[in-house]
């Protein structure tokens, strides 16, 4: 009789472990079926699906002195200061092909991309004395 109790206990432990391991995988794969959504939720779902394939146009202004189009850096970085990962001394500054929209914007350091060992510079309007501007003579 003790063998039967031991087998039952062993089975309960195995089922508990399996349920514990399977449950997180099950809840991560839960799907929302569109037919179970309200009309408003279905419209929102359709709008989200259409926005995934939407192409966003960027602003391009032509330069009169050259025939090369000028791109503005709105959300993208205007430059990167690549540094030595050990000492963090800047080795060189790499400008982006785009420029800040007008003179009220300045290319200032906004963050650090650790994976690229580079400080990231972006166009900002209301800069302070504490902001670090990009070097003017770069590239």
96-112 average pLDDT score? 89
How far apart, in whole angstroms, are the C-alpha atoms of residue 36 and residue 63? 53
Contact (Cβ atoms closer than 8 angstroms) between residue 72 and residue 107: no
pLDDT over 80 (residue 6) = no
Average pLDDT of the chain is 77
12-26, 46-60, 93-107, 114-128: least confident range: 46-60
In the chain, where are the structural domains located? 70-138
34-92 tens-digit pLDDT: 566 677 777 776 776 666 666 666 666 555 555 667 788 888 899 999 999 899 899 99
């Amino acid at each position: 009789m003790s063998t039967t109790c031991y087998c039952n206990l062993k089975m309960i432990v195995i089922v508990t472990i399996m349920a514990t391991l399977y449950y997180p995988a099950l809840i991560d794969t839960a799907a929302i079926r569109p037919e179970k959504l309200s009309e408003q939720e279905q419209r929102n779902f359709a709008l989200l699906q259409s926005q995934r394939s939407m192409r966003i146009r960027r602003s391009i202004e032509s330069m009169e002195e050259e025939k090369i189009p000028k791109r503005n850096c709105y959300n993208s970085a205007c430059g990167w200061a690549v540094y030595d990962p050990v000492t963090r001394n800047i080795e060189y500054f790499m400008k982006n092909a785009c420029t800040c929209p007008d003179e009220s914007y300045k290319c200032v350091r906004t963050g650090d991309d650790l994976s690229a060992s580079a400080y990231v510079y972006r166009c900002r309007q209301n800069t302070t004395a504490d902001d670090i501007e990009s070097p003017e003579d770069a590239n």
